[in-house]
Amino acid sequence: MIDPVKFKKILVNLLKVLVVIELISAMSQGLGGHGWSRFGVDLVIAGILYLTWERLGAIVAQKKEESWKAMATSPSEAGLFNALVFSLLWTDQIYKNVPADRLRLIVISYTLIALGLVAAYLKIGSGLMPLVISGALVLGAVNLVTWLISLERGEKEDLQTELKLAHDVQVSLMPKSNPSLEGFDIAGVSIPAANVGGDLFDYAPLGSNGNAFGISVFDVSGKGMQAAMSAVFTIGAIAGETGRSTSPGEILTVVNRSVFAHSRRGHFVAFLLAAIDPGKKTVTFANAGQTRPLLRSREGLSWLEPPGVRFPLGMQQDSAYEERTVQLSPGDVLLMITDGFTEAMNAREEMFGAERVEEFARDPAICTLRAPAIIERLTAAVRSFSAGAPQHDDMTMVVVKVQ
């Protein structure tokens, strides 16, 4: 199959070769005594083109941008000339965006148009027959391209519908308000990316007596409806265990076996489960491949990490998760975030990174803010850093401030 982009480059190179051949031919005629007038004219034209090449390049580049904006912002108002200019100047980009499995149909449509031109030139048959044959071939090519456009649009609309449903499922699974826990100020947020991932957070009492307060922050691999359904299953599995135990390590160990048994291979759940004891002011947590929680205390900053394995749920069937307990004090701030914050990128593809999260947490003003305000400030810092660059992953965070 001929690559249209390569075909365009072949035509451009062929044109360059013809220009060189023309100059050589004119020079040979001059050397043969047939006069140098033709060579002189060709040489002058070539020199003018060479001297004005950069200027012509700048004009073409400007026209490319103008034609792109005109077609992107108001395609319904595009005229015949603008459409022609756009299609010629942006050939490479147009074919770059055509899915590989549809590219062959584009080549076939071009072949039909070429055959139509040949049929018209050779005047196959008599009377109106050449016009009918060439017209049928060109019409077939146009219909083929039109069908491709409608097919792509239908698939895009189906995808948008699925993403909307997945977003609704994702939002419905998360708490609608911040919890009330004596001695603690807790708030959470999840900001879905455009393609909808599987980031979620949740709150639930742990144990049969509910004497521990559980916080879940997790990220399901995959996107769209598949991720949303995996999140539903994971929340159901966790809910079945939180009423039986207050141990995050024990809960994740049991749930891991269910996720491994029911999820497709290669699909995992990064899960952080924390249990707060309000009376003792302690937090006990187990981590299955999630971003480590960051604690700001009077002793400074520390990324909290439990002992043992940290495989995401569903990766290893027999993973046994261990837990760690940390004593908390009034004024301490615990940040539980997903990698959507640390891996947020700006236009230069630089990541926000853990270092900037640490710099944010060191700010003395953090100690004076409520948990929702801390979330707002860190979110604003990430968005300011990204400076309009698209959000590629969900950003989920739960903040726990000890009062």
pLDDT at 168: 66
Radius of gyration of the chain (CA): 32
In this structure, the answer to whether residues 146 and 270 fall within a common structural domain is no
- Cβ–Cβ under 8 Å, residues 294 and 287: no
In this structure, the answer to whether residues 158 and 224 fall within a common structural domain is no
DSSP states along 263-292? SPTT--EEEEEEEEETTTTEEEEEEESSPP
Q: Which domain holds residue 138?
A: 99-172
What tokens appear for 200 in the block? Answer: 């979620």
- Pairwise CA distance, residues 212 & 188, whole Å: 18
**CATH code of 214's domain:** 3.60.40.10
pLDDT at 253 over 70: yes
Q: Do the domain assignments include residue 76?
A: no
Residue type, 403: Q
Q: Do the domain assignments include residue 282?
A: yes
Average pLDDT rounded to a whole number, residues 324-352: 92
In this structure, the answer to whether residues 113 and 167 fall within a common structural domain is yes
Residue type, 230: S
Task: Considering only residues 2 and 75, tell me which one the structure prediction assigns the higher pLDDT.
Answer: 75
Instruction: Give CA 69 to chain center in angstroms.
Output: 23
Average pLDDT rounded to a whole number, residues 9-19: 68
Q: Residue 304 has what DSSP assignment?
A: -
Q: What value does the mean pLDDT of the chain take?
A: 80
Q: Do the domain assignments include residue 374?
A: yes
- Pairwise CA distance, residues 393 & 42, whole Å: 58
Local confidence band at 393 (pLDDT 50, 70, 90 cut-offs):
confident
Domain end position, chosen among 115, 140, 172:
172
- Among 274, 270, 248, smallest CA distance to 315 is for 270
Q: Do the domain assignments include residue 34?
A: no
Average pLDDT rounded to a whole number, residues 155-179: 68
pLDDT at 250: 94
pLDDT at 322: 95
pLDDT at 34: 56
CA distance readout (Å), 79 to 61, 67, 76: 20, 11, 9
In this structure, the answer to whether residues 217 and 162 fall within a common structural domain is no
Local confidence band at 116 (pLDDT 50, 70, 90 cut-offs):
confident
Q: Which residue has the tokens 């140098």?
A: 36
In this structure, the answer to whether residues 106 and 157 fall within a common structural domain is yes
Average pLDDT rounded to a whole number, residues 40-69: 70
In this structure, the answer to whether residues 136 and 212 fall within a common structural domain is no
Domain end position, chosen among 149, 172, 195:
172
Q: Do the domain assignments include residue 4?
A: no
pLDDT at 349: 85
In this structure, the answer to whether residues 129 and 269 fall within a common structural domain is no
Local confidence band at 69 (pLDDT 50, 70, 90 cut-offs):
confident
Q: Do the domain assignments include residue 13?
A: no
pLDDT at 238: 84
Q: Do the domain assignments include residue 198?
A: yes
Domain end position, chosen among 126, 141, 172:
172
Q: Do the domain assignments include residue 299?
A: yes
In this structure, the answer to whether residues 122 and 222 fall within a common structural domain is no
pLDDT at 157 over 70: no
As a 3-state breakdown, the chain gives helix, strand, coil percent values, each rounded to 5, of: 55, 20, 25
- Pairwise CA distance, residues 403 & 227, whole Å: 36
Least trusted range by pLDDT, from 73-77, 254-258, 360-364: 73-77
In this structure, the answer to whether residues 223 and 106 fall within a common structural domain is no
Least trusted range by pLDDT, from 8-22, 165-179, 199-213: 8-22
| 3-class secondary-structure state, position 385 | helix
In this structure, the answer to whether residues 105 and 206 fall within a common structural domain is no
Instruction: Give CA 8 to chain center in angstroms.
Output: 30
Q: Which residue has the tokens 């009077």?
A: 298
In this structure, the answer to whether residues 190 and 132 fall within a common structural domain is no
Q: For residue 200, how many other CB atoms are within 10 A of its CB?
A: 27
| 3-class secondary-structure state, position 295 | strand
pLDDT at 155: 62
Domain count for the chain, please give it: 2
pLDDT at 288 over 90: yes
pLDDT at 283: 96
In this structure, the answer to whether residues 289 and 389 fall within a common structural domain is yes
- Pairwise CA distance, residues 370 & 331, whole Å: 11
pLDDT at 141: 72
